Amino acid sequence: MTEKGSHVRISRRPLWAACLAVGIAVPTVAAVGANAAAADSTAGLTTTVQIGQVTSNALTVRFTVRNTSSSAVDVLSRDLPQSRESGAVLTVTRDGVPVPYRGKLVKFAAPTAADYTRIPAGGTYAATVNLADDYDLSRPGTFTVTLASTQVRGLRDTLRVNAARGTVRTSAGIRSASKVSGLAPTTTERVKLAAAAVTLTYRGCSTSEKTALQTAVSNAAQFSQKSEAWLAANPSGGGAYTTWFGTYSSSRFSRVTSAYSHITSELTSKTVTLDCTSDEDYYAYVYPDEPYVIYLCNAFWTAPATGTDSKAGTLVHESSHFTVNGGTDDHVYGQTAAKQLAKSNPNNAVDNADNYEYFAESR
């Protein structure tokens, strides 16, 4: 969701520890430490991190964000830790090795004033996150957690965050309780797309929604196929490739071509589950390790069939997130930011779902 920033130097508070009552099935933990960022004259926000509950199925962390400036600030809520994440806002490591984010990845609509959280001057924002919900903590070790970026987006400008980190050592694996599957009625049908056929399973979709989704899947498959054809005809990149993915390198070009190949396969020959039960104001979201389940949200239904930020493009965007299709992230959103990312950081551009969507929508 956010662009990854460089690590900032932070001061240390004294080491702290928490006593935990543990049973035979609960992992024993040692709280190794939590660094709190000291406020300075240029930092608008600081964070503190406190390790909370540690059980066999939970590792909770409480983040507190303090506004050290003399004025209230409005921060884009999706850039702050939430009780349930909608993107990789946090960085988690085990014994120094990054632990991949496996939670919800969302295509957002353009933010409105309601999408910002106000933190008054001298005030705080706090949220408790269960890391086991979105990260694989099944192997014990020393876990460290901090914000993924040292910047958050404000209503008027970008704000710097002096980010703290929390560390905890576990002696046994932690496994989240399984996600509850949607209980909405499901129907399944096989849809012909030219010479291929995709099996669509619907959850809680009306007749009109099913019709719109069949068209969207068909259009998305064509977007992906045309993207493959363009790349095959332009094996050295250039043109639209440069616009959306940046300067050519063989490894980056190979990643892009592989992703579209997998997306085409998904949308023409796999079983795709389309869930219509969400009432969120997103376009859609997926869980990267749960192919090929796509959750459609409010903004999806008002999007055009094709064109920029379309229904078909949204399906390409979400499909690119699946680990089996290449596993993109959400570094930035929107055409302007995606084009700028291609210029400034091609490695992130080929890892950004919106770049795949906009390239495909321009075919």
Mapping DSSP to helix (H, G, I), strand (E, B) and coil, where does residue 115 land? helix
Report which secondary-structure segment, H or E, holds 278: none
Of 3, 228, 318, 357, catalytic = 318
- Tokens 């892009």 locate to 256
Alpha helices (H) in 250-363, listed in sequence order: 250-269, 298-302, 311-321, 335-344, 346-349, 353-361
Active site residue 266: no
Smallest CA-to-CA distance from 206 within 238, 179, 184 is with: 184
The packing angle between helices 311-321 and 250-269, to 10°, is 110
Q: How far apart are CA 84 and CA 104, in angstroms?
A: 9
Q: How far apart are CA 171 and CA 185, in angstroms?
A: 42
Smallest CA-to-CA distance from 36 within 223, 163, 205 is with: 163
Q: Which positions are catalytic?
A: 318
